[in-house]
Amino acid sequence: MIKHLLITLLILQILILPVSALIVTIDLAWGLYPDYNVQEGSIVQIVAYRTGQGSNLQPGADNNFDVTGEYLNESVFDAYTTPNNHNIVYETTVNANLNRYFVLEQFELLENYNRIYVRIFDATSLSDNEVTLSYWGLTTVNNIPQNGRPVTIYYNNFSGVTNQNYFGTPYFEVIPEVPTGNLIAICLILFVITRICKHK
Check residue 167 and give its pLDDT. Answer: 43
Where in the chain are the domains? 19-177
Q: Which of 25, 76, 26, 61 lies closest to 137 in space, CA to CA?
A: 61
pTM tops 0.85 = no
**Of the ranges 43-47, 95-99, 185-189, which one carries the lowest mean pLDDT score?**
185-189
Which CATH fold topology does 19-177 show?
Immunoglobulin-like (2.60.40)
Q: Report the chain's mean pLDDT, rounded to a whole number.
A: 75
Backbone angles phi, psi at 96, to 5 degrees: -145, 145
